[in-house]
């Protein structure tokens, strides 16, 4: 089974609309090195730490993506409302979510720069839903993304939804980012 056809499984973490890059990774936490293994983990610890607990952007019960002191989340699929990743163009936003253990995001729409940074960096897979699923899916629901049939299964609620195919970005995402895709296709020299 190729990476393109492997299902993505995990618990849902549900967010509202207009989650911006300052909420995904606050500027105060952009001081850590992505190259240093110990500092890199801190991006996972602080992923989505900029979403105020009082705001409707956090899921039911004000659940945090990572538990206090942890760098990895028990959640692996974010389900968000419209305009995910708006704000500044920081590449750290999709990187910190990947470091925290997020494999995919499902949203009806993305800020263009966040979408491109996710794809080009090969950090996580930004799937587009046909409708706002953040109102139907709950944090903790067990999900499965079928990349072949373009469906999202909610095993907790026994429901299934259609999602948009990745289209032309699929090869870049599954190669691990734009540079790895270029290397694999002879566009730039191998390392």
Does residue 33 fall inside a structural domain? Answer: yes
Whether the full predicted model's pTM is greater than 0.95, yes or no, is no
Q: In the predicted model, what is the mean pLDDT of residues 26-46?
A: 93
Does residue 71 fall inside a structural domain? Answer: yes
* Gap between the Cα atoms of 86 and 20, Å rounded: 4
Tokens of 124: 């996580």
Does residue 86 fall inside a structural domain? Answer: yes
* Gap between the Cα atoms of 10 and 78, Å rounded: 10
**In residues, how long is the chain?**
191
Does residue 177 fall inside a structural domain? Answer: no
Does residue 174 fall inside a structural domain? Answer: no
Q: In the predicted model, what is the mean pLDDT of residues 58-79?
A: 85
What is the widest separation between alpha-carbon atoms in the chain? 50
In the numeric block, the tokens 């139907």 are attached to 136
Q: Give residue 133's domain range.
A: 8-165
- CATH code assigned at 83: 3.20.19.10
Does residue 170 fall inside a structural domain? Answer: no
Does residue 188 fall inside a structural domain? Answer: no
Give me the number of domains the chain comprises: 1
CA dist list (Å): 14 to 39, 87, 94, 147, 150: 27, 19, 16, 20, 20
What pLDDT score does 1 carry? 33
Element (H, E) at 180: helix 178-184
Least reliable range by pLDDT among 1-5, 42-46, 70-74, 155-159? 1-5
**Residue 121 C-beta-side C-alpha neighbours within 13 Å:** 21
Does residue 184 fall inside a structural domain? Answer: no
The model's pLDDT over 164-183, given as tens digits with 9 standing for 90+, comes to: 999 889 899 889 899 889 99
Residue 46 Cα to chain centre, angstroms: 14
């Amino acid at each position: 089974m190729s990476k393109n056809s492997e299902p993505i499984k995990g618990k849902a973490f549900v967010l509202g609309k207009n989650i911006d890059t300052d909420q995904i990774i606050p500027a105060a936490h952009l001081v850590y090195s992505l190259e240093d293994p110990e500092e890199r983990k801190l991006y996972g610890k602080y992923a989505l730490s900029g979403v105020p607990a009082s705001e409707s952007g956090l899921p039911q019960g004000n659940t945090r993506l990572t538990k206090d002191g942890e760098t990895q989340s028990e959640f692996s699929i974010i389900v968000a409302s419209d305009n995910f990743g708006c704000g500044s163009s920081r590449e750290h936003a999709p990187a910190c979510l990947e470091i925290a253990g997020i494999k995919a995001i499902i949203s009806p729409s993305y800020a263009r720069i966040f979408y491109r940074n996710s794809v080009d960096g090969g950090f996580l897979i930004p799937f587009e839903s046909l409708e706002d699923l953040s109102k139907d899916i709950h944090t903790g629901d067990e999900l499965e993304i079928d990349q072949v049939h373009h469906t999202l299964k909610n095993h907790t609620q026994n429901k299934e939804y259609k999602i948009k195919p990745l289209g032309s970005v699929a090869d870049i995402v599954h190669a691990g980012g734009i540079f790895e895709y270029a290397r694999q296709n002879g566009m730039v020299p191998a390392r």
